[in-house]
Amino acid sequence: AGPVAPPPIRQLPPEVVNLIAAGEVVTRPSAALKELLENALDAGAASISVTTRGGGAKALTVVDDGCGVPVSDFPLLCARHATSKLSSADDLSSIGTFGFRGEALAALSTVGRVAITSKTRGSPLAYRASYAGGAITPAGTPPVALAGAVGTAVVVEDLFYNLPARARAARPAGEEYRACVEVVGRYALRYAGVAFAVRKEEGGGGGGGGGGVPDVRTVVGATLRDNVRAVFGAAVERELLPWSFRAGGVTGDGLASNAGYRARKAVFITFINGRLVECGPLRRAVDAAYAGVLPTGARPWVYVSLTMPPEILDVNVHPTKKERKRGAEVVAGAPPPRAAPNRLVRTDAANPAGALD
Ligand code: ADP
Ligand code: MG
């Protein structure tokens, strides 16, 4: 048979575009949780509490005591490319926050059912709204006023309810929950001093008070070592040595297990400018160094926090690119806590998010 007539090229409808993009940003509950933790840290939270149901797939709740969202910003809160953290393309070189794409809440409200409650210091009341596909649902409903504390609570339910293939591919709830606990435990090291808690809603408490005993719990003002003890146990913390270095504008510090430490599973935690990243080359270098010291089968525990000038980093890396291939592909900026929320602005005009991919 000869060539068939080519099907016409068509522009995808926006709902389909958004669904595809959302599925890329939010791959599993722990990835959603990472975005919500970063938002809470961007908001200057001193305390962040996480509860999950069904490993986070049925429900994921993150409550913070950060700056909150003004009720006037509620309509834009989950809109795609709406952010309070970036207003022009020039700002891209000096990003001081985790967020700047305005993608996370948009994605979450596209692949899950989102409800947000928030109160700013200047407001006598908290407000709550539900979101679907980036907008308040039902469309046009004003946020509901209620009593509440300063800060923000984000609830995401039924993750991937409209992406059945993704929902089917989900790992068992226990495994997703462990991944959530791991993310919180790691941020608790880098942001020691902020109080973190993560617990299962179904675990023991029988609902109501937010569930049972937390699986990670750190307190306000704790040190890095306090939090290593809280997350990994005193037996691990005892075996760790502090280290630090400074070279060519890069400073690093952290903790690393001594030659007597014998674990069967390696722990390797890397933060670069405040962001949790995978750094394959660094990990291989560290593994090689320990290989000469540890007996066969024994693995190290290493925590690395690197800081480098934002100019040598590139913020134009998609959040799903977790692995840093070169030094220059690392994302910039440990977020300074902010006292007051910035206004939400749409970034479509400058379209930095589009330029990022
Ligand atoms: P980004 O973090 O890239 O700006 P998000 O979709 O994660 O995009 O969040 C959109 C906006 O919602 C943020 O810029 C911020 O203004 C607001 N926001 C989200 N989470 C919080 C929070 N926990 N506390 C205060 N404001 C928040
Ligand atoms: Mg964000």
- CA–CA gap between residue 216 and residue 231 (Å, rounded): 6
User: What is the reported pTM?
Assistant: 0.87
The finding on whether 67 has its CB within 6 A of some atom of ligand 1 is yes
Is pLDDT larger for residue 256 or for residue 351? 256
Whether the predicted pLDDT of 78 surpasses 80: yes
The finding on whether 102 has its CB within 6 A of some atom of ligand 1 is yes
Pairing of strands 126-132, 113-119: antiparallel
Same domain, 141 and 214: yes
The finding on whether 151 has its CB within 6 A of some atom of ligand 1 is no
Please report, as a single letter, which amino acid is at residue 158: D
For residue 251, the domain's CATH number is 3.30.230.10
Structural domains of the chain, count: 2
Whether the predicted pLDDT of 215 surpasses 60: yes
Q: Which atom of ligand 1 is nearest to the CA of 38?
A: 2
Listed residue (202, 335, 215, 211) closest to 273, CA to CA = 335
ipTM, two decimals, is 0.99
Same domain, 23 and 46: yes
For atom 11 of ligand 1, which residue has the closest CA? 83
The finding on whether 152 has its CB within 6 A of some atom of ligand 1 is yes
Cα 330 to ligand 1 centre (Å):
21
Please give the structure tokens belonging to residue 243. Answer: 């280290």
Lookup result for tokens 């048979």: 1
Ligand nearest to the CA of 100: 1
For atom 23 of ligand 1, which residue has the closest CA? 40
Please tell me the predicted confidence (pLDDT) of residue 332.
Answer: 36
Please tell me the predicted confidence (pLDDT) of residue 349.
Answer: 35
Same domain, 270 and 180: no
Listed residue (207, 186, 185) closest to 197, CA to CA = 185
Please tell me the predicted confidence (pLDDT) of residue 96.
Answer: 77
Whether the predicted pLDDT of 125 surpasses 80: yes
What's the whole-number mean pLDDT along residues 165-171?
A: 89
In a domain, 299, yes or no: yes
Same domain, 26 and 85: yes
In a domain, 51, yes or no: yes
In a domain, 245, yes or no: yes
Same domain, 244 and 136: no
- CA–CA gap between residue 155 and residue 53 (Å, rounded): 11
Please tell me the predicted confidence (pLDDT) of residue 98.
Answer: 81
Cα 76 to ligand 2 centre (Å):
13
Same domain, 202 and 109: yes
Same domain, 279 and 206: no
Cα 35 to ligand 2 centre (Å):
6
For residue 201, the domain's CATH number is 3.30.565.10
For atom 21 of ligand 1, which residue has the closest CA? 39
In a domain, 218, yes or no: yes
Same domain, 216 and 261: no
Same domain, 60 and 182: yes
Which pLDDT band, with edges at 50, 70 and 90, does 249 fall under?
confident
Query: What CA–CA distances, in Å, run from 10 to 6, 17, 185?
Result: 12, 12, 46
Strand, coil or helix: 47? strand
| Domain assignment of residue 280, given as a range | 239-329
- Convert the pLDDT of each residue in 273-296 to its tens digit: 898 988 888 899 999 999 989 999
For atom 18 of ligand 1, which residue has the closest CA? 39
The answer to which of 15-29, 32-46, 151-165 has the lowest mean pLDDT is 15-29
Residues 252, 265 contacting (CB under 8 angstroms): no
Q: Which atom of ligand 1 is nearest to the CA of 67?
A: 25
Same domain, 243 and 147: no
Whether the predicted pLDDT of 21 surpasses 50: yes
Encode burial over 5-42: b for 16+ CB neighbours within 10 A, e otherwise.
eeeeeeeeeeeeebbebbbebbbbbbbbbbbbbbbbbb
The finding on whether 104 has its CB within 6 A of some atom of ligand 1 is yes
- Convert the pLDDT of each residue in 35-73 to its tens digit: 999 999 999 999 999 999 999 999 999 999 999 999 999
Same domain, 219 and 255: no
Is pLDDT larger for residue 318 or for residue 311? 311
Whether the predicted pLDDT of 231 surpasses 50: yes
Mean pLDDT in the chain? Answer: 86
What's the whole-number mean pLDDT along residues 63-87?
A: 94
The finding on whether 80 has its CB within 6 A of some atom of ligand 1 is no
Please tell me the predicted confidence (pLDDT) of residue 94.
Answer: 74
Same domain, 221 and 275: no
Q: Which atom of ligand 1 is nearest to the CA of 154?
A: 23
What length does the chain have?
A: 357
Ligand nearest to the CA of 131: 1
The finding on whether 222 has its CB within 6 A of some atom of ligand 1 is no
Is pLDDT larger for residue 104 or for residue 346? 104
Residues 6+ apart with CB under 8 A from 352: 86, 89, 92, 100, 101
Q: Which atom of ligand 1 is nearest to the CA of 68?
A: 25
- CA–CA gap between residue 40 and residue 165 (Å, rounded): 30
Please tell me the predicted confidence (pLDDT) of residue 24.
Answer: 87
Encode burial over 326-347: b for 16+ CB neighbours within 10 A, e otherwise.
ebebbbbbbbeebeebbebbeb
- CA–CA gap between residue 319 and residue 98 (Å, rounded): 10
Q: Determine what percent of the chain is predicted with pLDDT higher than 90.
A: 66
The finding on whether 271 has its CB within 6 A of some atom of ligand 1 is no
Q: Which atom of ligand 1 is nearest to the CA of 104?
A: 6
In a domain, 336, yes or no: no
Whether the predicted pLDDT of 339 surpasses 50: no
In a domain, 154, yes or no: yes
The finding on whether 331 has its CB within 6 A of some atom of ligand 1 is no
Reported in sequence order, the residue ranges of the chain that DSSP labels E, i.e. its strands, are 47-53, 59-64, 82-83, 113-119, 126-132, 135-137, 144-146, 151-157, 195-200, 216-217, 240-247, 250-257, 267-272, 275-277, 301-307, 345-346
Please tell me the predicted confidence (pLDDT) of residue 235.
Answer: 95
